[in-house]
Structure 1
């Protein structure tokens, strides 16, 4: 079926409402629960992981019942030959859950990068949440951009074929690539940032920038943030096409992707200590 169930022209309000909800939750997280810097405990991260997971499942249920009530009375959809409102509603929630699970699985690779970055820049545990907060916030913006571009490109059949070939090549590359940790010190973006910006090795609380003797310096927190954002762009190139291979609905891709990313911070604090145990991760991702 080439017709979108949730075209942007009709559901722009849904995108705005969803984005508003996400921003409200993030502000609540940073402004209330993490107003003061502290090391996130396993108990706290487990609670937040559960909260985000339950919110994601609740949204899936809301999406299902909305589709179940909306589709039978939508004249645009009823003109589609063989359209089954109930079956389509079930398909919507199945695609959403599948996209969410795939993105969660791919997110474990992000967690490994977080561990390496925080270790390389020696980021104290009490400041890691702030870096991840803005890292995830930036990731949401980048993912939204990738999804918007993907939604336009996926209208062309040749793009779908190219995306499929790209995913196969990516899977093979993951399987055959040697197991080595990324080195932030050799990353071209980090090297460029150090060359263009005055950098200090000192920490000034949770600040990304500090001013001293009339000059503004970037702290290690900022460099860690830059590397995390750069890494997410690379991961998004793999993950967004993977979900578009499951569904052509931008709304489903957007919401499943965002919910998976929102729980990434708490999942990091929950799994950071055992991430090295995922020795077969790359085979699963491939």
Structure 2
């Protein structure tokens, strides 16, 4: 069986006249994009432009939902009630879906951003708030979220839930990435080695030197990484050299864990 992997990237993370990340150049390089929905970054104009760029490029679109934390870019954990989180998530999913629908596209997935990613993985109430919001809106949406509670209870909501491989962040021993308040640049060759290892072996090395399992159909490359274009091009090149096909998210999920 040939190896297949998806690559997803976070885009649309500017605000007003301020732009973060080279969206116009990055989006054509990845098959799947997660568009910020206004809570950690993004605004209606940016959401519309990112959506249109993604559709022109043939990239799948997902809602990159977040905690209400513009100042902290969604990378600070917040004490939020599950009810408030449920409402916030549905609001963001619906907002992006409107832009996608008007532009003639279909939204394919939902992915929590920053601290919310781990909060939903570690906390059952937050996991349920996430899955209830998605299932209530559209059960065909794939959910990308940190391992733990969402995977355990996904069947209750008739949802497909997967987690992702991080190749431009350091892993903690519990399998969650270390959040960087401001995204750092990474050596493209180091990122490439991590990507190939995750796809072919399903493992990564944590900060304490331990080996952790990373069974995933998709790799994340952060759009706010300073050298994200160089990294993305090199990852695509090397995966091709290894005979690993880069595919859309639904195809990667249907194909199963690559290694």
TM-score by length of structure 1 reads 0.24
Q: Whose strand proportion is higher, 1 or 2?
A: 2
Choose 1 or 2 for highest CA Rg. Answer: 1
Larger RCO (CA under 8 A, 6+ residues apart): 1
Q: Whose helix proportion is higher, 1 or 2?
A: 1
